[in-house]
């Protein structure tokens, strides 16, 4: 099950989103990822802004390079953000950019 996230004009991250390198499509999140982000005081829009700017977080170098190629030629984009010790949130944008989904690595 996924939940929709809405971006509002009055959120401080909105300006940062204007620097996006791609459109996220529909923004989704698993209930578990939302619960973990809330538990650790992590705002999903902050991570979304980073992802859209091409800040892939803590992915290995080869995955960051693959993401950069996917920006040019198409392909799935994966960001990995450490929001607390041993707590990771993934954000995956589909190759066709129809959707971007927050999830826990264990949910993949």
Tell me what pLDDT residue 19 has: 82
**CA atoms lying within 13 Å on the CB side of residue 70:** 21
* 70-108 b/e (C-beta count within 10 Å ≥ 16 → b): beeeeeebbbbbebeeeebbbbbbeeeeeebbbbeeeee
- Give the 3-state secondary structure of residue 29: strand
The answer to whether residue 106 scores a pLDDT higher than 90 is yes
Q: What is the pTM of this model?
A: 0.85
Structural domain count, the chain = 1
Closest CA to 100 of 32, 24, 48: 24
Per-residue pLDDT at 101 exceeds 70:
yes
Q: Which domain holds residue 37?
A: 3-107
Q: Which residues pair with 94 in a beta bridge?
A: none
């Amino acid at each position: 099950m996924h939940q929709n996230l809405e971006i509002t004009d009055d959120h401080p991250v909105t300006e940062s989103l204007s620097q996006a390198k791609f459109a996220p499509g529909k923004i989704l999140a698993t209930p578990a990822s939302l619960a973990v982000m809330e538990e650790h005081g992590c705002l999903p829009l902050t991570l979304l802004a980073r992802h859209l700017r091409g800040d892939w977080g803590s992915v290995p170098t080869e995955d960051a390079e693959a993401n950069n190629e996917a920006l040019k030629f198409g392909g799935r984009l994966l960001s990995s953000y450490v929001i607390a010790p041993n707590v990771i949130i993934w954000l995956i944008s589909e190759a066709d950019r129809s959707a971007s989904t927050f999830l826990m690595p264990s949910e993949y």
